[in-house]
A and B are shown apart, each in its own frame.
Chain A
Amino acid sequence: MDTLNAVIFYILSAICLISGLFCLFHKCTFNAVISASLLLWAVSGLYFLLGASFLAGIQMLLWGVGITIIMMFSIIMTNKDDKDGFLFNLKTLSVPLIGGIFIFLILPFILYQFSGLVNLQSYSAGDFSTLLYKNNAFSFELAGVLVFCVLIGIITILTAKRIMKCRMK
């Protein structure tokens, strides 16, 4: 069982990394969106491995489907079909260097602190929802209100020009 978990983990990780790099280097924005979507699905698989099945489902729905659709729509609405690739210049190439430094700084810390932890604890949806509604109901409500406000804001921004035009007429 552990071996199967390990194999699945490594496969999903490879999918994540490859799709991430693909998204980074590819010229076409649409292809980048597709590879991003693939990463998001792979992450949901990782959640299953970690025993967070409920969250894996949420991940699939929200990120894998919802956000992907939003990204598609944004490409359509902005006619983004040009071929912007990775810009090879000094500043751009210094980013991997700095990224490497970033990883290099955090890696020893991770290895030192968490190297012994291999035993997994899985949680049910009941555990999750109990905690969410018992202890964190307020933050959940707040998130809902935030969604609502953002929706109204976006609608206002997007329709402002048309309203102005109507008023001028």
Chain B
Amino acid sequence: MPNEIISSLNSIDWAALAVPGLCHYLILALIIFVIGIMIMVAGGNLIKIVIGLEFMLNAICINFIAANSFINSANSAINQENTIVSANSSLSQAASLGVMNFTFLNPEGQVAAFIVTVIGVINIAACFGLICAIYYKNKKVDTRILDGLKSNDCPELEECSDGV
């Protein structure tokens, strides 16, 4: 039994595995995502929750960019269209049409990451504004004390608001 494990371990190409591929980036993003969730769940104040949100957004961006970089998108429609144009027309015509005389590849993942970034930044800025507003009202940003969403109907609930 141990011989079989050793032989299977020996059969793995460790050198090839060490080269960072898409898997590595995705795993890294996954771990950052989970850390972000843990910060959101375990954080005792609102600022830490927002930091956790940041981590999650960044993990998403890493996913998008890594996927875009590693997955070959040379056969996408937009590339084929530009190739035909550049093959059939002169440079000036092509330039007048606003099309470059080379085949460009498709960074859609980066565009998505960009949009996520922009929206995420807006989101976080808004969150911090809200944190300040909450602080002005309650003088605290501790999540254990901010329980405005708590249901007050059940009297036994007063015993169980220990939170996470």
Contacts and interface: CB of A to CB of B under 8 A. Distances in A.
Are A and B a genuine interacting pair, yes or no? Answer: yes
Interface string A62-105: 11001100110111011010001111010110011001001100
Nearest to B136: A161
A50 B46 CA distance: 33
B48 to A, nearest CB: 6
A146 B122 CA distance: 8
Interface string B121-136: 1101110111111011
Interface string A89-128: 1011001100100110011001100111111111100111
B128 A71 contact: yes
Interface residues of A, number: 87
A154 B16 CA distance: 50
Interface string B92-135: 00000000100011111011011101110110111011111101
Highest count of chain A CB atoms <10 Å: which of B25, B58, B78: B58
Interface residues of B, number: 77
A69 B143 CA distance: 23
A110 B28 CA distance: 11
A29 B125 CA distance: 18
Given A24-B42, A131-B111, A71 B24 contact: no
Contacts of A33: 47, 51
Contacts, number: 240
Contact of A23 (B39, B45, B130, B141): B39
Given A54-B110, A77-B135, A114-B21, A106 B47 contact: no
Interface stretch (B2-10, B30-38, B83-91, B148-156): B30-38
Interface in A18-50: 20-21, 23-24, 29, 32-33, 36, 39-40, 43, 46-47, 49-50
Given A58-B114, A70-B124, 10 more contacts: A23-B48, A52-B113, A55-B113, A95-B38, A99-B34, A117-B70, A123-B69, A128-B107, A128-B114, A157-B133
Interface of B: 16, 18-28, 30-32, 34-39, 41-45, 47-48, 50-51, 54-55, 58, 61-62, 65-66, 68-73, 78, 100, 104-108, 110-111, 113-115, 117-119, 121-122, 124-126, 128-133, 135-137, 141-142, 162-164
Interface of A: 2, 5-6, 9-10, 13, 16-17, 20-21, 23-24, 29, 32-33, 36, 39-40, 43, 46-47, 49-52, 54-55, 58-59, 62-63, 66-67, 70-71, 73-75, 77-78, 80, 84-87, 89, 91-92, 95-96, 99, 102-103, 106-107, 110-111, 114-123, 126-128, 130-132, 135-136, 139-140, 143, 146-147, 150, 153-154, 157-158, 160-161
